[in-house]
């Protein structure tokens, strides 16, 4: 805040203060300080599963950079002007970031921000390491944390000898208005599955998401699973099909649109960084061999007024290039052409 306060800035001073004070309140209200008033290696308290190889005892004190704003004099507009709503609290927003391969989706009614990841994998240039759940997931959000044991959240896995594959190195295929895509080669036992490629595409609209995966080269009968958003808190409740609710507000939903046969929820035994009780919506199915499409609708929300997930419609025409028609509940339509390691998206008003 302090570093940018005297420079031309796209945000009003009241918005800048809202972002800083909101972040401070969020963590203090959730007990982020220990008994000595110190920050710990964790999130809302100690959380060893969040510790990375580059973490150290002083790592939490990168948060000290927030105090640079205290260098501003008492009469500065940041302190005098009324706090204004944060950008995510004003309107629904979708922002494509093609260079990192990200798609950012925020919704004003609940203030949630989701980052759909089609470019970040934390992999070194000369080798491929086991997936890091903090980098390799299809999506991350301001209200959820990754699952560390059992079926993975926001991840498509092929099951090889009963064990789920990893995503491995991510190859971005582009990002545009309301979409981002990537290709990857599922990995098992530290090796790419021979001849298998997955082309993944995420499309978003309002609070809704559609996730498409074109799987090429997997054998007929290969089982697959797809996790949604894992919601956590002090209490969680499983709903119909693949839906889960945490602390009476945060809801995660997942619905198969093509290629999946079963839907349900699974308990996350040790919870996540956001709470000790966690549930994960999960879809399952079996691949027919050759080139196969898997599609699902997903949602993470605190808004109880939204339409049901089955209001999202998808038409599928298989071929060398698959032709897909997506219809959002408000009538907006998108046309998708999907082939191995190739994606084209068009919006039809």
Per-residue pLDDT at 152: 97
> Which of 79, 82, 116 minimizes the C-alpha distance to 97?
116
Domains of the chain, earliest start first: 13-84 (no CATH), 90-348 (2.70.98)
The average pLDDT across 205-229 equals 98
Per-residue pLDDT at 137: 98
Res. 4 pLDDT band, cuts 50 70 90: very low
Share of the chain above pLDDT 70, in %: 97
Residues 277 and 2: their CA atoms lie apart, in Å, by: 38
Residues 197 and 195: their CA atoms lie apart, in Å, by: 7
Per-residue pLDDT at 11: 87
Whole-prediction pTM: 0.93
**77-89 pLDDT, tens per residue?**
999 999 999 888 9
The average pLDDT across 262-278 equals 95
Please say if the pLDDT value at position 59 is more than 90. Answer: no
Per-residue pLDDT at 8: 56
Per-residue pLDDT at 58: 84
> Which of 26, 25, 16, 30 minimizes the C-alpha distance to 85?
16
Q: Where is 272: in which H helix or E strand?
A: none
Residues 145 and 139: their CA atoms lie apart, in Å, by: 10
**Are the CB atoms for 151 and 227 separated by under 8 Å?**
yes
Q: How many CA atoms lie within 13 A of 26 on its CB side?
A: 11
CA-to-CA separations, 163 to 50, 153, 188, 223, in angstroms, rounded: 23, 15, 8, 10
Please say if the pLDDT value at position 61 is more than 90. Answer: no
Per-residue pLDDT at 64: 81
Res. 197 pLDDT band, cuts 50 70 90: very high
Average pLDDT, the chain: 93
Per-residue pLDDT at 57: 82
SS3 content of the chain, % helix, strand, coil (to 5): 10, 40, 45
Q: Where is 216: in which H helix or E strand?
A: strand 208-216
Residues 285 and 338: their CA atoms lie apart, in Å, by: 20
Residues 321 and 337: their CA atoms lie apart, in Å, by: 6
**144-176 pLDDT, tens per residue?**
999 999 999 999 999 999 999 999 999 999 999
């Amino acid at each position: 805040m302090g570093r940018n306060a005297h420079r031309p800035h796209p945000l009003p001073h009241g918005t800048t203060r809202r972002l800083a004070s909101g972040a401070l309140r969020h963590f203090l209200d959730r007990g982020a300080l220990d008994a000595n008033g110190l920050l710990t290696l964790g999130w809302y308290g100690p959380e060893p599963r969040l510790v990375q190889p580059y973490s150290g005892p002083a790592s939490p004190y990168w948060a000290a950079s927030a105090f640079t704003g205290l260098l501003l004099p008492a009469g500065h507009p940041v302190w005098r002007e009324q706090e204004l709503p944060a950008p995510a609290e004003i309107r629904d927003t979708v922002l494509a970031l093609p260079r990192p391969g990200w798609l950012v989706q925020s919704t004003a009614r609940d203030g949630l921000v989701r980052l759909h990841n089609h470019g970040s994998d934390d992999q070194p240039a000369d080798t491929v390491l086991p997936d890091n759940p903090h980098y390799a997931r299809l999506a991350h959000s301001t209200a959820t944390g990754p699952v560390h044991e059992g079926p993975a959240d926001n991840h498509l896995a092929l099951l090889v000898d009963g064990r789920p594959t990893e995503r491995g190195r991510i190859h971005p295929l582009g990002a545009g208005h309301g979409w981002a895509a990537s290709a990857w080669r599922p990995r098992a036992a530290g090796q790419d599955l021979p001849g298998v490629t997955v082309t993944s595409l995420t499309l978003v609209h309002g609070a809704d998401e559609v996730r498409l995966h074109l799987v090429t080269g997997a054998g007929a009968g290969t089982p697959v699973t797809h996790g949604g958003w894992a919601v956590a808190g002090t209490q969680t409740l499983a709903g119909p099909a693949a839906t889960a609710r945490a602390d009476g507000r945060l809801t995660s939903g997942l619905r198969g649109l093509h290629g999946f046969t079963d839907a349900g929820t699974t308990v996350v035994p040790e919870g996540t960084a956001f709470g000790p009780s966690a549930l994960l919506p999960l879809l399952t199915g079996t691949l027919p061999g050759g080139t196969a499409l898997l599609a699902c609708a997903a949602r993470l929300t605190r808004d109880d007024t939204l339409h049901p997930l089955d209001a999202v419609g998808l038409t599928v025409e298989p071929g060398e290039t698959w032709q897909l028609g997506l219809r959002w509940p408000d009538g907006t339509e998108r046309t998708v052409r999907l082939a191995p390691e190739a994606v084209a998206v068009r919006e039809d008003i």
